[in-house]
Structure 1
């Protein structure tokens, strides 16, 4: 049994995680614990506030009681808005509080792109035009080349959660570029687990989505590799490509 604890802000697409648990069809548990948010806004200040240390720490004890072996801050925006260094400090504080390896969805994207042996990405962002570029800056700090960034201008988690598969497909197609090796969809408020292979078939390249990479990152931190092609190319590789370093998350045990 491997247990990855997920801290998730508010309520939007959290039902993606039990769906992923079923799709993996193994002895994997993904207990999820909600953190408090100030309403539904996804402006920069609201995203920063969602990731304040005291809000994250509030869910850690329950997570530890659930037997988690790794901890993921299961939001993209609540991490990358702090920049590379700020996001690192954020998960370092979580690791110290929990005494567990910790990471976030933003770092999960950076690690997952490297797992696929890629360096050039396109970003299909639901965020508004002032927020989406901050994710591109985060990726560039991870030495990835962002070819294009498409912004859908969605300002709330509820609006993002209401997007159906066709809306997501439209966004992904609009964001894709021939030079991009991978397309990223950085929004944990989107339900995407059920149709990632369909997105990949349409584009002819790997697609990484927020809830998918969050789970993958947690399993990686727990030293557990899972074969689940229904979750896309990321879960259909058993070993990293030659020459790709295994990036560890932040691990602080006290």
Structure 2
């Protein structure tokens, strides 16, 4: 999908995205933001992931400082004002303090404000005022539990956690609307004030309103919150109902 045309003077946040799976969510996110009146560029550069596996050791290597640093100059060439590591698992796997150090190193290397998808989820939960959340993950159970622990460090109560046992991002990237809706339904909990789908390999940008209508509550998805976090770093506040409650702040 072609990226909408914008002059280089348009604010931009760059994304370092691991491998190839659901990166086409980002042109869609940019288009929806543009149609809602928020002009922003969302250039994306792919990092070398090494082994495609939702396994702790593979994720620690995937999110290592040298793999991110290798692509910083390339994404900076797009004229960005901030950079986000567009990966959930290969950030929270380091734990809260390790993920903070990962972002600090990325910011230092880039000379720009930086964040990651894991912190995007933490900040988005706080922005919604949600105290209790449910996690509906594509990951194996042990990796999903690490994400739940990360959220607890951010002050959220995780009332339900579901892992789907999917090992590779490549497989997650093949999931369509039916699988995503089923994942959200199965991972929901009556006490949850929001449901979180934490995998940037999962296509979700086209279906967030349907997800929220189905569950009757806010739904936070990885690529959605990653884009929102990038805008936050740029100091932009977008109103885009097609991207869900997170992008529909009360005036």
- What do residues 2-54 of structure 1 show as CA deviations (whole Å, max 9, x unaligned)? 10100001111000000111111132100001111113212111111011111
**1:144 matched residue in structure 2:** 156
**1:243 matched residue in structure 2:** none
Query: In structure 2, the residue corresponding to 1:202 is in which secondary structure?
Result: helix
**2:79 matched residue in structure 1:** 67
1:33-48 aligned at under 5 Å gives the runs 33-48=45-60
1:60-99 aligned at under 5 Å gives the runs 60-99=72-111
Q: By how many angstroms is 1:202 displaced?
A: 0.6
Query: In structure 2, the residue corresponding to 1:112 is in which secondary structure?
Result: helix
**2:227 matched residue in structure 1:** 215
**1:23 matched residue in structure 2:** 32
1:1-254 aligned at under 5 Å gives the runs 1-25=10-34, 26-237=38-249
Task: Judge conservation of contact 1:225–1:238 (CA < 8 Å) in 2.
Answer: no
Task: Judge conservation of contact 2:69–2:106 (CA < 8 Å) in 1.
Answer: yes
Q: By how many angstroms is 1:66 displaced?
A: 1.1
Task: Judge conservation of contact 2:51–2:62 (CA < 8 Å) in 1.
Answer: no
With normalisation by structure 1, the TM-score equals 0.92
C-alpha distance in structure 1 between counterparts of 2:233 and 2:131, whole Å: 22
Identify unmatched segments of 5+ residues in structure 2: 1-9
Q: By how many angstroms is 1:57 displaced?
A: 0.4
- What do residues 183-223 of structure 1 show as CA deviations (whole Å, max 9, x unaligned)? 00000001100010100001000000000000000000100
Distance 1:17 1:51, change over 3 A: same
Query: In structure 2, the residue corresponding to 1:48 is in which secondary structure?
Result: helix
Q: By how many angstroms is 1:238 displaced?
A: 5.3
Query: In structure 2, the residue corresponding to 1:194 is in which secondary structure?
Result: coil
Identify unmatched segments of 5+ residues in structure 1: 240-254
- What do residues 123-148 of structure 1 show as CA deviations (whole Å, max 9, x unaligned)? 00000012110000000001110000
C-alpha distance in structure 1 between counterparts of 2:121 and 2:225, whole Å: 6
Task: Judge conservation of contact 1:2–1:224 (CA < 8 Å) in 2.
Answer: no
Higher mean alpha-carbon deviation, 138-147 vs 38-47, is at 38-47
- What do residues 111-162 of structure 1 show as CA deviations (whole Å, max 9, x unaligned)? 0011111111000000001211000000000111000001111000011011
Q: By how many angstroms is 1:225 displaced?
A: 0.8
